[in-house]
Amino acid sequence: MPKLLFIPGSLRAASSSRATAEALMRRLEEVAACDLADPGRLPHYNADVTDDAAVAAFVAAIDQADGLVFVTPEYNYSIPGLLKNAIDWASRPAYASVFVGKPCAIVSTSGGALGGVRAQAHLKYVLSGMLAAVHPCRELVITHANARLSDGTLDSDETLGMAEDTLRAFTAALSRAA
């Protein structure tokens, strides 16, 4: 069974990104072992810091995962600083990091009508720059995400169903590659 590491781009306990990640993890539990990373535990990126335990654990989790699923909100037309910080920590050494060749899927959430498509474009650009393997698929966007939350749970079967289908294909591709 492939191992997926979900990396949310928000610190908020009631964020639509975390709710989306958790809902998708539940939907995929029969085809993948899923873990949720906590990028909020990482310090601000500083190349002088070489022995931080939280950073080492995060990098190891990425290394051990067969695939990564980024679930990010869109902040100011891009990815949140929290997510960029986490990526920066794991992107070293350049061109030889745990991201090289790592299969990645992207889901974005937004309170607006575009669902975070600009954040997805920026995240794809960053991941490509680190030589990660971004899964080719239609963009997985959760529009009006905050309105779709009910008691901290994403309540949108149609949207989650589309994302689930795509992530099942992503997981199947990981299994074939193994």
Distance, in Å, from the CA atom of 40 to the CA atom of 77, rounded to the nearest integer, reads 21
**Rounded mean pLDDT of the chain?**
93
Is residue 17 within 8 A of residue 143, CB to CB? The reply is: no
Close Cβ partners of 176 (under 8 Å, ≥ 6 residues apart): none
Q: Which domain holds residue 113?
A: 3-177
Entry pTM: 0.95
Question: 65: closest CA among 106, 95, 32?
Answer: 32
Token pair 């779709």 is found at 148
Q: How many domains, the chain?
A: 1
pLDDT average, residue stretch 160-165: 90
The model's pLDDT over 18-47, given as tens digits with 9 standing for 90+, comes to 999 999 999 999 999 999 999 999 999 999
